[in-house]
Amino acid sequence: MSFYLEEECTVDFSFDYAALARKVIDFCLEHESFPYEAEVNLTLTDNEGIWAINREHRQIDRPTDVLSFPMLSYETPGDFSFLEDEDEDDFNPDTGEALLGDIVISVDKVREQAKAYGHSEEREFAFLITHSMLHLFGYDHMESEDAKVMEEKQRQILEELQILR
């Protein structure tokens, strides 16, 4: 797996966030039985930075905790069989890895939400990466049935990683 981390703000978490991000991404790939080597990009920014991205890409004029930009188009969430017939645009020509997409996280929101939910910043950070990885696999939470599926997967992943509230 190729994992690229970009820091657009000061990140002073008390844990090794790069190692945790890689661990969670790797585990999500394994948990969902993703059949290819993958490339994932993670950008850490502040509320101002994610607000600008949210406004530009989603026309929502406020900061959010995480944004996911999947590079693959799924007919069915978590069904990767379509990649067998896909053209090479879904794969990095240099590495052959599937281009899963981009994750953008607000470091400010990690702190705010960890405090509000009464758990660690480490747990909140891992949750946001898990949530975003599921989006990169085609899952969504717009409809209540879809939300139930996604929430259960999030719970399972974090529980199996022993990253608890």
Q: What mean pLDDT do residues 114-120 have?
A: 97
State the Cα–Cα distance between residues 46 and 106, nearest whole angstrom. Answer: 5
- Name the pTM for this structure: 0.96
Q: Identify which of 138, 128, 122 has the alpha carbon closest to the alpha carbon of residue 15.
A: 122
Q: Identify which of 60, 55, 40 has the alpha carbon closest to the alpha carbon of residue 135.
A: 40
Q: What mean pLDDT do residues 42-52 have?
A: 98
Q: What mean pLDDT do residues 62-78 have?
A: 95
Question: Is 70 exceeded by the pLDDT of residue 86?
Answer: no
Q: How confident is the model at residue 88 (pLDDT cuts 50, 70, 90)?
A: confident
